[in-house]
Amino acid sequence: MSENIMEVKHLQTQFTRDNQKTVVLDHVSFHIKKGEVLGLVGESGCGKSVTSLSIMRLFKDTTGEITNGEIVYNGTNLLSISESDMRRIRGKEISMIFQEPMTSLNPVMKIGEQLMEAIRLHLGYSDQKAREQAVSMLTKVGIPRPSEIMGEYPHQLSGGMRQRIMIAMAMSCNPNLLIADEPTTALDVTIQAQILDVMKQLQAEEHMSMLLITHDLGVVAEMCNRVVVMYAGRVVEEASVYDLFDEPKHPYTKGLIGSVPKIGQKRARLDSVPGNVPTPNNMPKGCKFAPRCKDVMPVCWEKEPVITTVGKERFCRCWLYQGEGRDVHV
């Protein structure tokens, strides 16, 4: 039996606007092991959230379309099953926490109704048993007065409370895989730490796999076992969290880590990565990071590098390392 709960292989996703098709994810490949937390990092606009939406097949009523690849979950390619079968998996076996809980929760439904709806649907529980499960989950995520909160509406709760509700909802059916898309972005630092502690505790208790999407490397260092770095809709580096912070390979990864303030740092200015992530419809030729890279070489402007092995379970898409290991995918 595979030790991987999910394998994303050569995933390609595009959007259509004004009859023009634009590739947003270009042959993205990575895997998630059973029981591990995989971090997916990169700047805004690099394709992290589109990756999560592709995995969940949540492109209904949008122009998004998966045009290539496989998403293999426990041996089943999620792209080959029917929408009804996907609905049975979505929420029960694979759950997702979205970035902004206020837009994810139904504003006209009480918290208890929203929690119980998923429990009844996926677990087949009676109203009484579903209510008990919902109250239990609210207690687990640290919600005070859980029975009273069941009768309140989302607007009556703080941002931190709503995010805990979203975690409780995602965890209520004991999923095998949790996708958390920037789960603490809109929260202050103290509440962020509390939410991360809740997620870490539940993940350990349930031996659950997690895909944690974030741009915060501090969150990655605290939560993750391995890290996938994305840039311009491509995977540019993959490594264990220790290896990534100890010896980043890709110039983009080095720039991200170098831009994080350090305790005791006396420099007046932080390092930064110059420029911006290119838009999907205006990609440079060759390496997509070349216009921002301080290690750029002539070949970088002409041809895009493939991703290759650069150590044990380490991969990097950069001309600095071409020829060091075998090519693993484009």
pLDDT greater than 90 at residue 306: yes
Q: Is the pTM of this model over 0.85?
A: yes
**Residues whose CB falls within 8 Å of the CB of residue 178, separated by 6 or more in sequence, listed in order:** 94, 95, 96, 97, 170, 171, 203, 208, 209, 210, 211
For tokens 């589109």, the residue is 50
Collapsed DSSP state (helix, strand, coil) of residue 226 = strand
Joined tokens for residue 273: 């990565």
Average of per-residue pLDDT across 238-253:
96
Put residue 23 in one of left, alpha, beta given phi > 0 → left and psi -120 to 50 → alpha.
beta
CA–CA distance from 134 to each of 99, 239, 271 (Å)?
Answer: 22, 37, 46
At 9, the pLDDT band (50, 70, 90 cuts) reads very high
Residue 24 identity: V
At 264, the pLDDT band (50, 70, 90 cuts) reads low
**Backbone phi and psi for residue 191, each to the nearest 5 degrees, phi listed first:** -70, -35
**Chain segment 39-98, per-residue pLDDT in tens:** 999 998 899 999 999 999 999 888 999 999 999 999 999 999 999 999 999 988 999 988
Task: Check: CB of residue 7 under 8 Å from CB of residue 193.
Answer: no
The 3-state secondary structure of 27-78 reads EEEEEEECCCEEEEECCCCCCHHHHHHHHHCCCCCCCCEEEEEEEEECCEEC
**Beta pairing partners, 9:** 70
Average pLDDT over the chain, rounded to an integer = 89
Angle at 66 between CA 62 and CA 68, to 5 degrees: 165
Instruction: Name the residue ranges covered by the structural domains of the chain.
Output: 4-93+175-261+271-329, 103-174
CA–CA distance from 55 to each of 9, 281, 296 (Å)?
Answer: 11, 23, 33
Collapsed DSSP state (helix, strand, coil) of residue 4 = strand
In CATH terms, the superfamily for domain 4-93+175-261+271-329 is: P-loop containing nucleotide triphosphate hydrolases (3.40.50.300)
**Beta pairing partners, 311:** 314
| pLDDT value for 98 | 82
| pLDDT value for 190 | 83
**Chain segment 113-138, per-residue pLDDT in tens:** 999 998 998 888 999 999 999 999 99
pLDDT greater than 70 at residue 161: yes
**Chain segment 266-276, per-residue pLDDT in tens:** 665 667 788 88
**Backbone phi and psi for residue 242, each to the nearest 5 degrees, phi listed first:** -65, -50
Distance between CA atoms of residues 300 and 318, nearest Å: 8
At 265, the pLDDT band (50, 70, 90 cuts) reads low
Task: Check: CB of residue 248 under 8 Å from CB of residue 232.
Answer: no
Distance between CA atoms of residues 39 and 82, nearest Å: 29
Distance between CA atoms of residues 220 and 150, nearest Å: 32
| pLDDT value for 234 | 96
Collapsed DSSP state (helix, strand, coil) of residue 279 = coil
